């Protein structure tokens, strides 16, 4: 059993249509001053290094190389903006992974500050999807990110990645612990999405969640998608 919310066939089709549209790289941002200023709503993906963020984004968009995949954690070092939607009406934002990275300490500190500034001060950010490795659950640096989002009153939703890896009993245990912790956080969206970029598990549902968000704006906290 998982906490992935059920979506109607219409929701799934809406998500599929959204991600069939061209998804093009626009720019990589290394400072808050160079963020796009055209007012498009943004949906951002955040997570620890090696959580499978690039693989998930590629699975969502159906493009194998849209987001770079590397055996070296921490390869994404900018806020990467991609257009999303038939009329490029949204941005999908691939954020630098936090935590472990093979890079100088000063560079890691710079990425961390960029992430913090973006999450706390971006009006166009409609929701952050916080990716959590299904094998390990929430880690301290995940909590730091979620606390920053709580303090900024930015809606966020947990997405378990690599859900094909653990046994079902282990996955259920991680889900239960994650749901228990999220229930105490004011800006956390209640449902957890469970995904695997390798098998495609949960990809249609995540697309649907993003499509609903784009069509309707931010769903009030505590309510399921409709």
Lowest mean pLDDT of 6-10, 67-71, 99-103, name the range.
67-71
**66: exposed, middle or buried (C-beta count within 10 Å: 0-12, 13-18, 19+)?**
buried
Q: 18 to each of 2, 23, 53, 220, how far by Cα in Å?
A: 25, 10, 19, 22
**Per-residue pLDDT at 221 exceeds 60:** no
Instruction: Give 116 or 204, the one with higher predicted confidence.
Output: 204
**Per-residue pLDDT at 203 exceeds 90:** yes
Q: Token digits for 110?
A: 């710079």
Name the residue ranges covered by the structural domains of the chain.
Answer: 9-216
> Of 19, 211, 18, which Cα lies nearest the Cα of 126?
211
Q: What is the CATH number of domain 9-216?
A: 3.40.50.300
**Per-residue pLDDT at 34 exceeds 50:** yes
Digit-coded pLDDT (tens) for 103-127: 556 555 666 788 888 888 788 999 9
Q: Which residue has the tokens 């259920």?
A: 172
Instruction: Specify the pLDDT at position 167.
Output: 97
Average pLDDT over the chain, rounded to an integer: 84
Digit-coded pLDDT (tens) for 66-99: 765 434 444 457 899 999 998 999 999 998 887 6
Q: 110 to each of 98, 104, 205, how far by Cα in Å?
A: 11, 10, 34
pLDDT tier for residue 226 given thresholds of 50, 70 and 90: very low
Q: 76 to each of 84, 116, 148, how far by Cα in Å?
A: 19, 16, 21
Lowest mean pLDDT of 26-35, 128-137, 192-201, name the range.
26-35
């Amino acid at each position: 059993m998982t906490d992935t919310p059920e979506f109607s066939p219409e929701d799934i089709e809406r998500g599929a249509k959204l991600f069939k549209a061209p998804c093009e790289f626009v720019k990589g941002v290394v400072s808050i001053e160079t963020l796009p200023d055209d007012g498009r709503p943004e949906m951002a993906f955040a997570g620890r290094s090696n959580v499978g963020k690039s693989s998930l984004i590629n699975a969502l968009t159906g493009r194998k190389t849209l987001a770079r995949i590397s055996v070296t954690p921490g390869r994404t070092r900018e806020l990467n903006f991609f257009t999303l939607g038939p009329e490029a009406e949204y941005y999908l934002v691939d954020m630098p992974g936090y935590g472990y990275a093979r890079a100088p300490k000063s560079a890691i500190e710079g990425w961390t500050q960029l992430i913090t500034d973006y999450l706390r001060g971006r009006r166009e950010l409609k929701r952050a999807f916080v990716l959590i490795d299904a094998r390990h659950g929430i880690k301290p640096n995940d909590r730091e990110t979620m606390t920053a989002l709580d303090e900024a009153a930015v809606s966020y939703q947990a997405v378990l990645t690599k859900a094909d890896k653990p046994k079902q009993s282990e996955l259920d245990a991680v889900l239960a612990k994650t749901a228990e912790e999220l229930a105490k956080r004011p800006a956390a969206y209640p449902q957890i999405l469970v995904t695997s970029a390798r098998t495609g598990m949960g990809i249609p549902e995540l697309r649907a969640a993003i499509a609903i968000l784009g069509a309707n704006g931010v769903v009030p906290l505590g309510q399921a998608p409709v």
